[in-house]
Amino acid sequence: MCGLVVVAVTGAGGCALLPKPRVAVPSSVPTSGTLTEPESDTTLTSCDVDVAFGTLEAKVRVHNGNSRSRADYNGMVKFRDEAGNDVGTANFSANGVGAGETRPVPVSEEYSGLERDKPKHVKCKLDMLLKNNDETNG
């Protein structure tokens, strides 16, 4: 049995002091808190075609799920007709979205096909989503 005896520290007895284990912190842990992926931060909230003007329209909601850093978002909305054919694409961006901030992003593109083929209804799909975290300016 060991007690608080100087013998344990000098090594003259049979006890040894065990060093505290080191806690390893992975280098991949972000310094600015939680960072989220663009797919979880970006949602389509509406998708339509304005038949009178021939405009393909969508609304995207960007919610920066980061705990501390601002982020810039870029992506594309693909518009498809009722048969599933691509009828247009439109790029969007939302820059400087603060941590925890939600921002609506209107997206529109003129329909460039033949007038007789203009869709009356469209479906939308998000594509090529990118997010750039600005960890220096949280």
CATH code (residue 123): 2.60.40.10
> How many Å apart are CA 49 and CA 131, to the nearest integer?
27
Lowest-pLDDT choice from 8-22, 26-40, 89-103: 8-22
Structure tokens at 25: 């912190």
Task: Name the domain count of the chain.
Answer: 1
Q: pTM to 2 decimals?
A: 0.72
133 bridge partner residues: 71
Q: Is residue 92 part of a domain?
A: yes
Lowest-pLDDT choice from 28-37, 59-68, 97-106, 119-128: 28-37
pLDDT at 22 over 70: no
